[in-house]
């Protein structure tokens, strides 16, 4: 178990939790978090928002029963963390853009810190949050509220684009990148049970068959994903 140092609400239903300890992780990976005994049964997968030598941070949305439980935790409370899990964003060369929608910005902060000043596009419904944290790591930072963020992204300008956000936004980005040289990577979200590739509960359809979001992903090349089919299997 690890000690929670802070757990602050930073927007409606959005919280930033800092947990004490020495943790590892690459950009786009996640941890399985648990702060209860037997119920709710499943741990919750939460992306790494930030890593420091003596702590890890998670930016999460309190939507379901498990994440609402996380939101009620106070400094000094304990939480169980397992990870890091998953294949995150790849190491890339060339000009890179990060595109995040809503709570999908969560894995992009640590990612931005690992890259050499990418352009960063962040979109929100209602109100923005955490954008000032991204600013020092961005070559150009574009923030849009209640607007179609993708209209601002000139995809051909980039060698690589990493996208995390609502499924519809990632699918629209995939369509925009069709036929371009630009490599587009998306970070998919699915309910997970085991988090380590053992239960097949998180499978999605791809061009190369069913793949597991937890262990084959959560990051996939956009053209691999079978967007035209129902993603879940």
Residues of each annotated binding site for [2Fe-2S] cluster: 194, 199, 202, 214
Nearer to ligand FES, 90 or 197 (CB): 197
| Contact string (CB under 6 A) for ligand FES, positions 161-200, x = contact | -------------------------------xxxx-xxxx
181 is written with which tokens?
């040289």
Smallest separation (angstroms) from ligand FES to the CB of 45: 8
Q: Is 40 in the site for ligand FES (CB under 6 A)?
A: no
Sheet holding 183-187, edge to edge: 140-145, 119-124, 96-101, 160-164, 183-187, 219-221
| 12 Cβ contact list (under 8 Å, min separation 6) | 126, 127
For residue 104, give the DSSP letter: G
168 is written with which tokens?
């519809």
Q: Under a CB-based contact definition with an 8 Å cutoff, are residues 230 and 203 in contact?
A: no
Q: Under a CB-based contact definition with an 8 Å cutoff, are residues 130 and 152 in contact?
A: no
Q: Is 201 in the site for ligand FES (CB under 6 A)?
A: yes
Q: Is 42 in the site for ligand FES (CB under 6 A)?
A: no
Smallest separation (angstroms) from ligand FES to the CB of 203: 7
Smallest separation (angstroms) from ligand FES to the CB of 107: 17
Q: Under a CB-based contact definition with an 8 Å cutoff, are residues 100 and 119 in contact?
A: no
Nearer to ligand FES, 48 or 99 (CB): 48
Residue numbering of the annotated binding site for FAD: 44-47, 66-67
Q: Under a CB-based contact definition with an 8 Å cutoff, are residues 14 and 129 in contact?
A: yes
**Which chain residues interact with ligand FES by CB under 6 A?**
192-195, 197-202, 212, 214
């Amino acid at each position: 178990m690890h000690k929670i140092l802070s757990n602050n609400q930073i927007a409606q239903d959005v919280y930033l939790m800092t947990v004490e300890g020495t943790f590892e992780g690459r950009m786009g990976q996640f941890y399985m978090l648990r702060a209860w005994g037997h119920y709710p049964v499943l741990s919750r997968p939460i992306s790494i928002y930030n890593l420091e030598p003596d702590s890890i941070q998670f930016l999460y949305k309190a939507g379901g029963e498990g994440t609402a439980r996380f939101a009620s935790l106070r400094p000094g409370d304990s939480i169980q963390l397992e990870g890091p899990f998953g294949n995150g964003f790849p190491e890339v060369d060339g000009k890179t853009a990060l595109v995040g929608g809503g709570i999908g910005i969560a894995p992009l902060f640590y990612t931005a810190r690992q890259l050499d000043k990418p352009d960063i596009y962040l979109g929100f419904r209602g109100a923005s949050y955490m954008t000032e944290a991204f600013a020092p790591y961005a070559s150009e930072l574009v923030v849009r509220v209640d607007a179609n963020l993708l209209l601002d992204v000139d995809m051909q300008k980039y060698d690589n684009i990493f996208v995390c956000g609502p499924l519809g936004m990632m699918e629209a980005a995939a369509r925009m990148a069709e036929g371009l040289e630009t490599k587009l990577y998306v970070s998919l979200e699915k309910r997970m049970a085991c988090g380590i590739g053992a239960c097949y509960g998180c499978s999605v359809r791809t061009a190369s068959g069913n793949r597991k979001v937890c262990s084959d992903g959560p990051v996939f090349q956009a053209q691999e994903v079978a967007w035209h089919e129902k993603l879940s299997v």
